[in-house]
Structure 1
């Protein structure tokens, strides 16, 4: 049976801010979530180098990630405002349609269609 365990030593210079902070993280980590130093260090190294090599291969990765986050925030905001405004709008629309003339009814419908088209233009990811 092969021995697949490798040992290495780490040295932290506590006078350097980043190394001191790493040392503190290692010694204050939650042992329920992280079973060993090896687990934490391997997770951190793999995360760091995966991201490093992705950004080397794709220099615009971080910009795209920020843009995607921004678009997601816009989509979420539009969805939330739709959830809040649409029931009131539809109840007003149905109440108005029952009481008013066909011309006013058509203006409500065109306003509703304009609202839906605006949402689709702003956020093409939303299915309405």
Structure 2
């Protein structure tokens, strides 16, 4: 059984001196022939996409803004995830060091023990400041992300 066809033939004129027309012609010349078997298929896809977007924006003028905001939030979330991935190994190393510290104290002499204690206190103070700064940065990023 043969499929019924209703074909309308129309011409498109492109003025290659006009920037928009020239660009359209270049797109048609470089289109993927596996995806679009003919100019007709490419033009139909382009027209449908263009006017569908136009009508959606007409019905919902804030659609484009929301799409941009969603893309921005995705970039922020990715940056936060990457930051957490980078900071987790350092936190694990700190915890491991704290767990091993009593064993190191036992094996160290009195003089070495006092040196280690002073060094650890100095490092702890520096780490506390760094941890506080990282925590403040993370809180600020999360508050920003939550505001959307």
TM-score bin (small chain):
0.7 to 0.9
Shift of 1:14: 1.4
Q: Between Structure 1 and Structure 2, which shows a larger proportion of helix residues?
A: 2
Partner residue of 2:58?
56
Q: Which runs of 5+ in 2 are unaligned?
A: 103-123
Partner residue of 1:77?
79
Specify whether residues 121 and 90 from structure 1 end up closer, same or farther in structure 2 by C-alpha distance, changes over 3 A only: farther
TM alignment of 1:89-104, pairs within 5 A: 89-99=91-101
Partner residue of 1:38?
40
Q: Secondary structure at the match of 2:36?
A: coil
Shift of 1:59: 0.9
Q: Which runs of 5+ in 1 are unaligned?
A: none
Specify whether residues 121 and 98 from structure 1 end up closer, same or farther in structure 2 by C-alpha distance, changes over 3 A only: farther
TM-score by length of 2: 0.65
Shift of 1:75: 0.4
TM alignment of 1:104-119, pairs within 5 A: 115=135, 118=139
TM alignment of 1:12-23, pairs within 5 A: 12-23=14-25
Shift of 1:123: 3.8
Mark the structure with the bigger radius of gyration: 2
Q: Which has the higher contact order (CA 8 A, sep 6+)?
A: 2
TM-score by length of 1: 0.73
